[in-house]
Chains A and B, each alone.
Chain A
Amino acid sequence: MDWIRRSFYSLAAVVASAFPSLANDIGQADKGEAVFRECARCHSVGEGAKNRVGPHLNGIFGRRAAAVDGFNYSNGLTRMGKDGLVWDFDLLDRYVENPKAFASDTRMAYKGLKDAGQRADLLAFLRRYSDDPGNIPEAAPTASGTDHAVDAAILALQGDPEYGEYLSSECTSCHQLDGDNDGIPAIVGWPTEDFVVAMHAYKDKFRPHPVMQMMAGRLSNEEIAALAAYFGAAAP
Chain B
Amino acid sequence: MKLNRRLFMGGAAAGAATLAAPMAQASTHGKPRVVVIGGGAGGATAARYIAKDSKGEIDVTLIEPSRSYYTCFFSNLYIGGFRDLTSIAHSYGKLAADFGVNVVHDWAVGIDRDARTVSLAGGGTMPYDRLILSPGIDFVDGAVEGWDVSHQNAMPHAYKAGSQSELLKAQIEAMPEGGIFAMIAPPNPFRCPPGPYERISMVAHVLKARNPTAKIIVADPKDKFSKMALFQEGWADHYPGMIDWIGSDFGGGNVSVNPDAMTVTIDGEETKVDVCNVIPAMKAGRICELAGITDGNWVPVNPHTMQARADENIHVLGDASQQGDMPKSGFAANSQAKVAAMAVRAALTGSKQFPAKFTNTCWSLIDTDDGVKVGASYEATDEKIAKVDGFISQTGEDATLRKATYEESIGWYAGITADMFG
Contacts and interface: CB of A to CB of B under 8 A. Distances in A.
Main secondary structure on A side of the interface with B: helix
Interface string B387-411: 0111100101110110110011111
Contact of A81 (B342, B400, B414): B400
A217 B375 CA distance: 14
Contact of A173 (B334, B342, B404): B334
A8 to B, nearest CB: 15
A176 B414 contact: yes
Given A166-B354, A218-B377, A174 B415 contact: yes
B352 A182 contact: no
Contact of A83 (B334, B335, B354, B404): B404
Given A166-B342, A183-B410, A211-B375, A84 B397 contact: yes
Contacts of A214: 359, 375-377, 389-391
A84 B357 contact: no
Interface residues of B, number: 38
A82 B401 contact: yes
A151 interface: no
B338 interface: yes
A145 to B, nearest CB: 22
A182 B377 contact: no
Contact of A176 (B338, B394, B415): B415
B411 A211 contact: no
Given A82-B404, A214-B377, A174 B394 contact: no
Contacts of B389: 214, 217-218
A234 to B, nearest CB: 13
B361 interface: yes
A1 interface: yes
A170 B388 contact: no
A79 interface: yes
B412 A184 contact: yes
B401 A1 contact: yes
B338 A84 contact: no
Contacts of A166: 342, 352, 354
Of B335, B359, B373, B396, the most chain A CB neighbours within 10 A belong to B359
B104 interface: no
Contacts of A81: 400
Contacts of B375: 210-211, 214
A162 B408 CA distance: 28
A82 B403 contact: yes
A30 interface: no
B231 interface: no
Contact of B400 (A82, A180, A218): A82
B415 A1 contact: no
B400 A84 contact: yes
Contacts of B390: 214
B377 A176 contact: no
B409 A183 contact: yes
B416 interface: yes
A65 to B, nearest CB: 11
A3 B391 CA distance: 11
A204 interface: no
B412 A183 contact: yes
A160 to B, nearest CB: 10
Contacts of B391: 210-211, 213-214
Contacts of A213: 391
Contacts of B394: 2-3
A81 B399 CA distance: 12
A180 B413 CA distance: 12
Contacts of B419: 169, 172-173
Given A2-B394, A214-B391, A218-B389, A173 B416 contact: yes
Nearest to A180: B414
Nearest to A4: B401
Contacts of A84: 397-398, 400-401
Interface in A163-192: 163, 166-167, 169-170, 172-178, 180, 182-184
Nearest to B338: A169
Contacts of A173: 331, 334-335, 359, 412, 415-416, 419
Given A166-B352, A214-B375, A218-B389, 9 more contacts: A1-B401, A79-B404, A170-B335, A173-B331, A173-B416, A183-B410, A214-B390, A215-B377, A217-B389
Interface of A: 1-3, 64, 79, 81-84, 162-163, 166-167, 169-170, 172-178, 180, 182-184, 210-211, 213-215, 217-218
15 contacts: A1-B397, A84-B400, A163-B354, A169-B419, A170-B335, A170-B359, A172-B418, A173-B412, A178-B418, A182-B411, A183-B408, A184-B408, A211-B391, A214-B376, A218-B357
Interface of B: 49, 331, 334-335, 338, 342, 352, 354, 357, 359, 361, 373, 375-377, 388-391, 394, 396-398, 400-401, 403-404, 407-412, 414-416, 418-419
